[in-house]
Structure 1
Amino acid sequence: MLDPETYAPEHFLWSFEDGVATITLNRPDRKNPLTFESYAELRDLFRGLVYARSVQAVIVTGAGGNFCSGGDVHEIIGPLVEMEMPGLLDFTRMTGDLVKAMRDCPQPVIAAVDGICVGAGAIMAMASDLRIATPAAKTAFLFNRVGLAGCDMGACAILPRLIGQGRASELLFLGRSMSAEEGERWGFYNRLVEADALMSAAKAWASRIAAGPNFANAMTKNQLNTEWDMGLHTAIEAEAQAQAICMQTKDFERAYRAFAARETPVFEGD
């Protein structure tokens, strides 16, 4: 079971404080590309977070003024050209499993994006629950520029839900870069801040989430995921059941008693 206090990844940086975990992609000389190994290690980490109750929010960011330049050209794309179909399918399923793991972990995930955020990096930002960027952020789903379809790692399912079908189609067919201003205007980015305020803004949100009712937050994330393919009546019933479960938590009672006493509730996640 993952212990956030002692966890020591091999292919990226990790820190943990006051319920907030920070993942930093750390190959700044190459703008933080992913490799076969870092994909797998990130996937396994997010799977492990399902059972890491002391982790209440996660920040994903990159070192050196960039978020992530996608899959490493020499360490991933070169070998893929030489692979047969079974190996290619193993790889594409593994990368998709990273997105599944990010969506399935109960903790809200915040992407803190500066500079280059392209390919698989754009996917990781997309798969996060909240996104904060700097004006220098350049985001591109550039798969068609390397001869691939835009339907990579869930892009055709998630991106239209964030920015709309037409805008998603524009980015996926043209492979062009989305500016930070466009990203905020279209709803991809929740907020833009200057580079020197990026991590403090992300940590402020993460700390606020970590101080909240964590069981209920996990339920919210679960419902956001599962209601994508539900009809309205089914979704309302699912939410009724989810909310009734949350009403049995001690956090719900704590909030009521704090309100009655005109105090700020202290949530404990149970």
Structure 2
Amino acid sequence: MRVGIVGGAQLLAVGRLGRIHQLGHERFKRVAQLLRARAQGEVHRVLRDRRTGAGGSARPSTAFVECGMLSTSALTEIRTRERTWTRMTGVELSSPGEGVLQITFARPASLNALNLEAVQDLLAVLDEVDRRVDTRAVILTGAGRAFCAGFDLTGYGDDERLSEQGLTRGLISRQSQITDSLVRLHELPVPVVAAINGPCAGAGLSYTLACDIRIAAAGAVFSAAFLRAGFTACDLGASWLLPRIVGVGRAHELMLTARRFDAPEALRIGLVTDVVPADQLIERALGIAGQIKQHPPLSTLLSKQGMAVGLQMPSLRASIEFENRQQVLSAMTEDQQEAARSFLEKRPPQYANR
């Protein structure tokens, strides 16, 4: 089931406008329920058709008018957000399974090379992912035959920013925006599985490094290609992430040569954990997501945070002290008790996320 991205934008808008207009919890809940129902129905079909040029004129924001819960100014802001999201073309958000969201780089004609629009779309999608509290795992992949070939060398698309801010400040602003998207992907509260379906170079490689688990199609190829384009190899967190995944020596060799390497080598050096036929890649990623969903949400979150913090701890003792506190927190949750009961009763767990 594909999830209409516009509905997510509206939920984002209502979440913020709800605070502005001081909507009560129950009233906001009614809006969210209506939105979710409509997200699976006719309104989003119309918007999808309109985005692809198939016509249609319905406006999902009228759902909120029917609720009688938003002022004229609030409705205007939501409609502005609708127009912004219907223009989204660089990144897509879908839901291939219950509790699982899929982020797809969606510029296949350019091997999913990124530009300003795509990065802005990615940031908006990450906003939506953050907002969905029922999400248990995220899959990151690419449309067509590539995962992501890095940044579009024909032009990033922010000439106006460079003109307004000057070259130095404008480039710093550009870098900050791009790296913010990578850090936010890395810090999502749920595990992220990179399903690397094809060429993965430069920034594309960095985005996979920001994921928790990486699997690749048999035909995928990789390169830390920044040097090939004349830039420093140390970009988008690669100098911090890659050595922690494949080791310092191998990271230096890959970054300083910018050479291409294939999926079997990526598996051998520990960059990916599995290589599968291309037509089984998403199925395998969904299988990993299914394994993640078997465990309590908060315990999974604490585990992801604990491993990230552990890499930065100065000593074994400091790491253990941190772990001790996480164990106590997980032991105090209702879901930990449900996990134990379901294990003893040999039945699937029913988690309440609390």
TM bin (shorter chain): over 0.9
Q: Does 1:187 align with 2:270?
A: yes
**What secondary structure, in the 3-state scheme, does the structure 2 residue paired with 1:54 have?**
coil
Greater alpha carbon shift after TM alignment, 79-88 vs 232-241? 79-88
Distance 1:97 1:173 in 2: 25
Report if the CA contact (8 A) 2:116-2:157 is conserved.
Answer: no
Greater alpha carbon shift after TM alignment, 81-90 vs 167-176? 81-90
Per-residue deviation, 1:81 = 9.7
Aligned residues: 270
For the pair shown, the structure with the greater C-alpha radius of gyration is 2
Task: State the AA in 2 paired with 1:67.
Answer: F
**What secondary structure, in the 3-state scheme, does the structure 2 residue paired with 1:229 have?**
coil
Match of 2:347 in 1: 263
Summarize the alignment of residues 133-148 of structure 1 with structure 2, pairs less than 5 Å apart: 133-148=216-231
**What secondary structure, in the 3-state scheme, does the structure 1 residue paired with 2:114 have?**
coil
Report if the CA contact (8 A) 1:211-1:266 is conserved.
Answer: no
Per-residue deviation, 1:70 = 0.9
Match of 2:62 in 1: none
Bigger relative contact order, structure 1 or 2, given CA contacts below 8 A and separation 6+?
1
Cα RMSD after superposing both structures: 2.3
Cα distance change of structure 1 residues 183 and 90 upon mapping to structure 2, 3 Å threshold: same
Match of 2:325 among 218, 233, 241: 241
Task: State the AA in 2 paired with 1:238.
Answer: F
Gaps of 5+ in 2: 1-10, 13-31, 45-84
Per-residue deviation, 1:25 = 1.3
Per-residue deviation, 1:15 = 1.0
Per-residue deviation, 1:176 = 0.8
Report if the CA contact (8 A) 1:138-1:177 is conserved.
Answer: yes
Greater alpha carbon shift after TM alignment, 104-113 vs 10-19? 10-19
Distance 1:43 1:242 in 2: 30
**What secondary structure, in the 3-state scheme, does the structure 1 residue paired with 2:156 have?**
helix
Report if the CA contact (8 A) 2:116-2:158 is conserved.
Answer: no
Per-residue deviation, 1:22 = 0.8
Match of 1:200 in 2: 283
Cα distance change of structure 1 residues 192 and 156 upon mapping to structure 2, 3 Å threshold: same
Distance 1:261 1:114 in 2: 40
TM-score, normalisation: structure 2:
0.71
Q: What percent of counterpart residues are identical? A: 31
Q: Does 1:149 align with 2:232?
A: yes
Match of 1:14 in 2: 93
Distance 1:31 1:90 in 2: 25
Match of 1:59 in 2: 139
Report if the CA contact (8 A) 1:20-1:210 is conserved.
Answer: no
Per-residue deviation, 1:225 = 1.8
**What secondary structure, in the 3-state scheme, does the structure 2 residue paired with 1:192 have?**
strand
Task: State the AA in 1 paired with 2:337.
Answer: E
Q: Does 1:102 align with 2:182?
A: no
Cα distance change of structure 1 residues 207 and 260 upon mapping to structure 2, 3 Å threshold: closer
Report if the CA contact (8 A) 1:103-1:225 is conserved.
Answer: no
**What secondary structure, in the 3-state scheme, does the structure 1 residue paired with 2:231 have?**
coil
Gaps of 5+ in 1: none
Q: Does 1:213 align with 2:296?
A: yes
Distance 1:41 1:218 in 2: 25
Per-residue deviation, 1:264 = 3.6
Distance 1:224 1:47 in 2: 23
Write out per-residue CA displacement over residues 16-37 of structure 1, whole angstroms, 9 at most, x where no aligned residue.
2401001111221111111112
Report if the CA contact (8 A) 1:67-1:116 is conserved.
Answer: yes
Distance 2:220 2:309 in 1: 30
Per-residue deviation, 1:47 = 4.4
Report if the CA contact (8 A) 2:136-2:190 is conserved.
Answer: yes
Distance 2:101 2:158 in 1: 33
Distance 1:125 1:221 in 2: 16
Distance 2:152 2:341 in 1: 53
Match of 2:305 in 1: 222
Q: Does 1:252 align with 2:341?
A: no
TM-score, normalisation: structure 1:
0.92
Summarize the alignment of residues 73-84 of structure 1 with structure 2, pairs less than 5 Å apart: 73-76=153-156, 84=167
Write out per-residue CA displacement over residues 168-215 of structure 1, whole angstroms, 9 at most, x where no aligned residue.
001110111121111101111010000111111111111222342111
Write out per-residue CA displacement over residues 79-120 of structure 1, whole angstroms, 9 at most, x where no aligned residue.
599961101111111111112101211011111112210111
Report if the CA contact (8 A) 1:71-1:77 is conserved.
Answer: no
**What secondary structure, in the 3-state scheme, does the structure 1 residue paired with 2:184 have?**
helix
Report if the CA contact (8 A) 2:162-2:171 is conserved.
Answer: no
